[in-house]
């Protein structure tokens, strides 16, 4: 800052261009904190897979476009709904139960995912569950899967999941 003395005894403070630029950037930086964050808009998808109960053992169904389905790198799936049905949407599949897991890619048919990934055990078939937003998450490198126990060999089973897919930075910026 430079001072300018006038003959009348008054003192005026004069700022340089660099000082004004610093003040401007400081004020604008503070305003960024006050601006509302842009609305996060996920991609909503419905993932469906089917399987036929084997003669022996359990049926593992990986939900997604194929057996290696996982959220793309840098993205997360927020599970909103899970559905399991048999030959139709209303007939109970005798003796069948289902459990939903989130597990790592690489589970082989016949394997059971780690119990740490279990998020919905012991469900009758058919069944439907809806989850609050931002509760059940699947990260890149993980798979959403269900295991069907006890159904008769040859029984058709369909697994359906509705998800909201978010970019990781958007989820990290969400307010809780």
Mean pLDDT, all residues of the chain: 84
Between residues 79 and 63, the one the model is more confident about: 79
pTM of the model: 0.73
Backbone angles phi, psi at 24, to 5 degrees: -60, -45
Question: Which letter, b or e, does each residue of 151-168 get, where b requires 16 or more Cβ atoms within 10 Å of its Cβ?
Answer: beeebebbbbbbbbebee
Between residues 103 and 109, the one the model is more confident about: 103
Least confident of 91-105, 107-121, 124-138, 144-158: 107-121
Tokens (6 digits) for 66: 């194929």
**Over the stretch 55-67, which tens digit does the pLDDT of each residue have?**
988 999 988 877 6
Average pLDDT, integer, range 138-159: 93
Residues 6+ apart with CB under 8 A from 99: 118, 120, 121, 122, 123, 146, 147, 149
CA 23 to chain centroid: 41
Backbone angles phi, psi at 81, to 5 degrees: -155, 145
CA 75 to chain centroid: 8
- The whole-angstrom separation of Cα 6 and Cα 95 is 97
Cβ atoms of residues 125 and 84 within 8 Å: yes
């Amino acid at each position: 800052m430079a001072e300018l003395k006038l003959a009348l005894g008054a003192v005026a403070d004069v700022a340089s261009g660099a000082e004004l630029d610093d003040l401007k950037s400081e004020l604008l930086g503070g305003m960024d904190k006050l601006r509302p964050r842009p609305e996060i808009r996920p991609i909503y998808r419905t993932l469906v897979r089917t399987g036929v109960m084997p003669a022996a053992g359990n049926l593992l169904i990986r939900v997604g476009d194929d057996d290696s389905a996982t959220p793309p790198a840098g993205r997360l799936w927020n599970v909103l709904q899970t559905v399991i049905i048999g030959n139709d949407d209303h007939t109970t599949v005798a003796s069948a139960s289902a459990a939903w897991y989130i597990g790592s890619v690489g589970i082989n048919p016949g394997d059971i995912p780690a119990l740490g990934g279990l998020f919905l055990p012991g469900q009758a078939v058919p069944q439907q569950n809806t989850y609050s937003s931002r509760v059940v998450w699947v990260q890149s490198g993980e798979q959403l899967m269900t295991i069907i126990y006890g159904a008769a060999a040859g029984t058709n089973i369909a697994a359906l999941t509705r998800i909201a897919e978010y970019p990781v930075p958007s989820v990290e910026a969400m307010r809780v």
